[in-house]
Structure 1
């Protein structure tokens, strides 16, 4: 027997599932999985359980598209995986579903737009890096420590009474950053405390 299974997500503990739950129940969902997780958070344990529970012929129902995916490419990936498994998808607010031919067409237009967006981002990133390299710089973050600071730190660390942790605190960086900029420093017994 084909089931309509609902999935609801709120971002914080302060938010409530009531609106989504009511809409999903009204849409005929007998089971509803609920996650409290930021949209950017990839860890959504209830969604994982929901996806495992779905069988060919079932339909996954969400209140709104943004409840399922944390980005358009992520949403497209989830729905494509469902489609390959013979599972339908329906978003109540946007009135999008992948059970009918027309619904599949609309969703595939979304998928094409997501792929286009990824290509544009990739092109802009490559163009930006090329422009930076043409000016003699490399991409990425600026180093946390300048050359003068590195020289000062090396001079300080020659003194066996000065702890690496104290120098790191003085320059506002971690010990790992010091090791990275100054080179490998043999651990001194009192630095281990």
Structure 2
């Protein structure tokens, strides 16, 4: 069987281009994730990895749609290979049934990872410049719950545990302690 995998990073992004390509290639089944590619913890990717079996071919539009770093890509392809499943990336013309295809997969994975690192670097630089110009102040803190002061007072007196105070205020540990110390 031909198995197609599609990934878009957000709900707003349109997977139509990838879907059209895979339909033109007559794939039998399509798995679609609307999630970041930063790791392999994606529901449809995991479902596809369980679904494929010996003799299948997984087809993606681009390796960047499958994995964002070399390690993840190579691990996923290794899992497919162990199941005797082929991997094909149309954009990069990679076919893991050949030694050259395996080599090219590694090279393109490294390039995709480098590209992602450049994107993150530019993002960090842009945020730093925006902060210097006073245009970026980060996320505004959520307002404190109405019962925060009363609960913290009880906690400081030893009447309730920190865990109980967090439960009553609905705050997670890091947030609770940070807000207590502010």
TM-aligned CA distance change 1:165 to 1:50, over 3 Å: same
8 Å contact from structure 2 (residues 3, 28) kept in 1: yes
Report how many residues are paired. Answer: 126
Gaps in structure 2 of 5+ consecutive residues: 115-148, 166-182
1:26 matched to 2:38? The reply is: no
1:52 matched to 2:22? The reply is: no
1:189 matched to 2:159? The reply is: yes
TM-score (norm 2): 0.59
TM-aligned CA distance change 1:165 to 1:73, over 3 Å: same
- Runs of 4 or more, structure 1, over 4 Å off, are 108-111, 190-193
Give SS of 1:8's match. strand
Give SS of 1:93's match. coil
Give SS of 2:68's match. coil
Between the aligned partners of 2:39 and 2:72, the Cα distance in structure 1 is 12
How far off its partner does 1:108 sit?
5.0
TM-aligned CA distance change 1:84 to 1:108, over 3 Å: farther
TM-aligned CA distance change 1:164 to 1:25, over 3 Å: same
Give SS of 2:30's match. strand
Between the aligned partners of 1:96 and 1:56, the Cα distance in structure 2 is 19
Task: Name 2:94's counterpart in structure 1.
Answer: 96
Between the aligned partners of 1:19 and 1:13, the Cα distance in structure 2 is 15
1:80 matched to 2:67? The reply is: no
How far off its partner does 1:50 sit?
0.7
Give SS of 2:92's match. coil
How far off its partner does 1:70 sit?
3.0
Task: Name 1:120's counterpart in structure 2.
Answer: none
Residue of 137, 152, 171 corresponding to 1:165 = 152
Give SS of 2:3's match. strand
8 Å contact from structure 1 (residues 57, 87) kept in 2: yes
RMSD: 2.9
Between the aligned partners of 2:19 and 2:107, the Cα distance in structure 1 is 28
Gaps in structure 1 of 5+ consecutive residues: 118-161, 167-174, 176-184
8 Å contact from structure 2 (residues 39, 72) kept in 1: no
Between the aligned partners of 2:160 and 2:57, the Cα distance in structure 1 is 62
Give SS of 1:24's match. helix
How far off its partner does 1:29 sit?
0.9
TM-score (norm 1): 0.56
